[in-house]
Amino acid sequence: MNNDNMFWNGGSWVTKEKEERPQRAKIIDAHYHIFPKLGSQKEGIDPALRTRFWQYHSREFNNWWRVDTGEKVDQQFLEFKSNNMADMPNVNFRLIDYGKARITIDKIDYDMQFYTPNLINNELHPERGIGEMNLAGVDIGILQADHVYGDLANFYGKAMRDYPDRFIGLAQIWEPEANNEVRLAKLERSIVEQCNKGLYFSVEPLAVMEKDVSLTDPMFDPLWELTRKLKVPVFWFLDDRTINRSDMYMRRISELAQWVKKHPDINCVITHGLVPAAIIHEIGIPDEVVEVLCNPSVFAEILFPAKFPDYPYPEGQKMLKQLRDQVGANKLMWGSDSPFGLTMWCTYKQSIDFIRIHCDFLTTNEKEQILGVNSANLFGIDPYHPN
């Protein structure tokens, strides 16, 4: 057996770098999570609304186990045929330990494994995240900030102070009230005082609260002015999770195209692998998405393990090659969505090695761009380790 391309590190065999580089580029995960106990946060939206938001967030899941028998049940217990949260099934949805949610139907309990089973006490502290990143060779995690976790600006700020240069936090605002002066002031404190470095903007709360507004609506103008003043990028989550999911996504892409024309000086990232996993096999990556990406200020998070079942994702590699050819590797940023991605997709290391070891159509420079250099440049940090 030829061992020239690997070495023994005392605990396992590790792949060697294919070529020596004068400087080692940092690896930056553009989609990472740390959080206190899920459901415990008082900051942000009302905790009762947040639990209902979790249920809305999970409406398509069909991974259930009957608690009393252990039987797997492939049924979408949470699905409903409208976009009104008032129509959600009344199943006493609640979060329990080890990354599970539980519901009760006709006095029978069912559990859903929506996060990795080793999520003890449903929390993921910075120390656990750093250990995971260290083992996989990741230098920095960009902390996305969905409302289901609560407002974690202070939690992220402390993590960045305790562990300098390991995390980049994103702040949030309650989008249905994004023109509220109190909420805008809180966002500014999240960035100025807690040193978060960007804004996470989700369209899902607009759907949840039945607020039918465009991304270019004047109600958001104070938010974009503040974003411009603070000189931070916007990370877009463009999936409303409505029953007309594809049509709504394409509407948001059209709105984003108009937004970019109005705000060409604000950098932004389309998160979660551009097109939601639920509809990628229906619509692919539409030309309209590629056109938006061709704007100098727009970037994309690459998240193909969510979209294809078999490692190392040959279909995902083909799609990545197409994107590289269309917009260039300098527009693409690798993200893992850890720890959610570790539940159903792959290991953390595999989410990187999909690009780092495979994707032979990418040059070494292109891999470095996607795996960290582009993210570093977005936030104005040195993309390389010192010699």
For the cut 60, the answer to whether the pLDDT of residue 1 exceeds it is no
CATH of domain 6-34+124-379: 3.20.20.140
Query: What is the pLDDT, as a whole number, of residue 329?
Result: 99
Mean pLDDT for the chain?
94
Query: What is the pLDDT, as a whole number, of residue 7?
Result: 81
For the cut 70, the answer to whether the pLDDT of residue 17 exceeds it is no
Instruction: Note the pLDDT tens digit of each residue in 130-145.
Output: 999 999 999 999 999 9
Strand partners, 112: 64, 101
Instruction: Note the pLDDT tens digit of each residue in 93-133.
Output: 999 999 999 999 999 999 999 888 988 899 999 999 999 99
Query: What is the pLDDT, as a whole number, of residue 2?
Result: 64
Please, are residues 71 and 111 in contact by the beta-carbon 8 Å criterion?
no
- Nearest-angstrom CA–CA distance, 204 and 240: 4
Residue type, 343: T
User: Phi then psi for 78, rounded to 5 degrees?
Assistant: -100, -5
- Nearest-angstrom CA–CA distance, 79 and 60: 6
Query: What is the pLDDT, as a whole number, of residue 22?
Result: 65
| Percent of the chain with pLDDT strictly greater than 70 | 98
Instruction: Label residue 19 by pLDDT band (50, 70, 90).
Output: low
Dihedral sign, CA of 309, 122, 107, 47?
negative
| Percent of the chain with pLDDT strictly greater than 90 | 82
Instruction: Note the pLDDT tens digit of each residue in 303-325.
Output: 999 899 899 999 999 999 999 99
Cβ neighbours, 10 Å, residue 266:
18
Query: What is the pLDDT, as a whole number, of residue 112?
Result: 94
Tokens 């899902």 belong to residue: 204
Q: Hey, is 170 helix, strand or coil?
A: strand
Which residue did the predictor score with more confidence, 371 or 84? 371
- pTM passes above 0.85: yes
Query: What is the pLDDT, as a whole number, of residue 18?
Result: 61
- Nearest-angstrom CA–CA distance, 269 and 228: 15
In the chain, domain spans = 6-34+124-379, 47-113
